[in-house]
Every structure is written in structure tokens, then in C-alpha cells.
Amino acid sequence: MLDVPMQMSAEVAAAHAQNAPIVALESTIITHGMPYPQNLETARAVEGVVRNAGAVPATMAVLDGTLHVGLEDTDLDALAQRSDARKLSRADLAHCLATGETGATTVAATMICARLAGIAVFATGGIGGVHKGAETSFDVSADLTELARTPVTVVAAGAKAILDVPKTLEVLETQGVPVLCYRTDTFPAFWSATSPLPAPLRAETPAEIAKAHLMRAALGLPGGQLVANPIPTEAEIPAATLAPLIATAQAEADAAGISAKAVTPFLLRRLFELTNGASLEANIALVMNNARLAAEIAGEIATQRR
């Protein structure tokens, strides 16, 4: 039987041996989220936030057919400059490994890699979900089903605001995924701290979230949990400002026949242009905020396991 070709960075391997807290990080934000060198600077800054909060960052990527759990500095630099990296979700991960190619992990693929590496917590920007018009296109992100089957706690600023967020929450409920809104009574709206949608569950502390993660395992429940962490209010973009811009970008995508994996990158790129870069600045702020909380949760899980 084949073994997964997997390599841990020296830092992650040391943390793993000591049962120290580790936080998984995705890599599509590096390869598909922003240009070089801003992508490299942001990746290093996010890893720094995790370290400063007491955990070890494990940025996931497939490099030449090997799954890397944590990237050495030279590998991170090289990945940030590549233009041919595949965007990997559940459906693509095995093929990329089998063919010896290079790819960056999405939310779903990062969750799979984190489980393989024994990592309980993953920080990202926002999860994918149900796209607008999905009742006819059936465009629903694999992130939602991954949350239902893979036991990793995912810290995000809610679902990306370009999505049909009410339908996304409905699918998460149907799949039995706990949605824990951190110190808020509404579901965060990615670039905006609040929304009209009530919080399915509210969590007050990293320790409470960690205990819920471990309790799910004790109950034998499959799947993970979503921690919805609001963007800091000083960095948010009001939903009323964003709504017409999102509608414009979506109309342009529809008119151009853009579909499937190409939709999200197109919409995010257009919103960057339409907001004169403000959407990317907010995105960076929320990722940093999520990395900090994820590190605190990972620390609590490590403590409670002892």
C-alpha cells in the first residue's frame, strides 16, 4: 500500500515531538490570493502571529509531489514566486501527489493535510460555501462537506461575503457542523464584523472552544467545527459599502461565463479593484486576527490533552 509522501519542517517536527501546539495554514492565499512579494510578506507575517501567540505555524503545500507540513523559509519564498501551482481541494490532492506536481491547499485540502499530520486547528481567512445562484448552478464549495467529515477546528472570519451566506449556514446546519461565533451574537460577514444572521452558537473563550473540540472526539462525532471570528472593527468594510460592489463583480462573472474554481479568484480580484485595495487590506487584517485566535485554541487543546 502506498504511503503519503509527507515531510515536516524542522520547526513542526520538533513541536510534534514535544506535543506543542501547532496551527495549520493554507497556501492558496500565497499562490492565488495576492501578488509577489506581498504574498510572501503576508505569509511570513501570519506565521509570525502564530509564533507570537505561543504556537508553531504549519503552512501546507504540495511541492513536487510531496506534502509539506510547514515550509522552510526557502520553500516558502519559492512557492510565493511560482505561477504554475495548482489550486488543490479534496478532488485534486491525490492526483497532484501522484503526478509529482506542485499545488497550494485550499480550506478542504488543508483540513485533510492537518488531519494526516495530527494537527487539530487551522486558521484561514474565510471558508468557501454556497455560491449565489447555486440553486441552478449547484456551485457549492467542498469546504462545507469537508467540515462535516474531517475533525479539525477551523478559525475563519465567517464565509466569504461574495457567497450566499444564509444558504451556506443552512448547509452547515444540515451537515451537523457546529458554528461557534466568537464573542458575538451574529455570524461575521468576512470583511464586515457583523451581519443580520444570528450566531448559531456563541463561544466566549479559547478554552471553551478547545473543550468542545475534544468533546466531539469523545462523543465519536465525525467532522470539525467552524469558529467564526469577527474582523477587528477598525479594519472592517461596512456591508452596505460592499453589497453593490459584490453585485457588480458577480454580474461581470456571469456575463463572462466564469464558473467553478475560477469564480472566487475572479470576484476577489474585482473587489480588490473596485475597493481600491481596501478589500485586500481587510483580508490581511482578518487572517492575522484568525491566526492569533487559532494559536490560543491550539494551546488550550494541548493543555487540556495533558
Angle at CA 121, nearest 5°, toward 227 and 191? Answer: 40
Can you name the residues that pair with 6 across neighbouring β-strands? 67
| Nearest one of 142, 196, 187 to 169, comparing CA atoms | 187
Can you name the residues that pair with 198 across neighbouring β-strands? 186
Question: Would you say 122 and 294 are in contact if contact means Cβ atoms under 8 Å apart?
Answer: yes
Q: Distance (Å, rounded) from C-alpha 252 to C-alpha 262?
A: 13
Can you name the residues that pair with 182 across neighbouring β-strands? 203
Which of 11, 26, 146, 296 is flagged as catalytic? 26
Which of 11, 47, 160, 300 is flagged as catalytic? 160
Q: Indicate the SS3 state at residue 105.
A: strand
26 is catalytic: yes
Q: Distance (Å, rounded) from C-alpha 268 to C-alpha 106?
A: 15
222: preceding bond cis by omega (within 30 degrees): no
Cell of 35: 501578488
Which residues are CB-neighbours of 253 under 8 A, at least 6 positions away?
263, 266, 267, 270
146 is catalytic: no
Q: Indicate the SS3 state at residue 279.
A: helix
Residue 150 DSSP label: S
Q: Indicate the SS3 state at residue 72.
A: coil
Distances 60 to 20, 166, 182, 190 between C-alpha atoms, Å = 18, 30, 25, 22
Burial class (CB in 10 A: 0-12, 13-18, 19+), 273: exposed
Tell me the catalytic residues. 26, 160
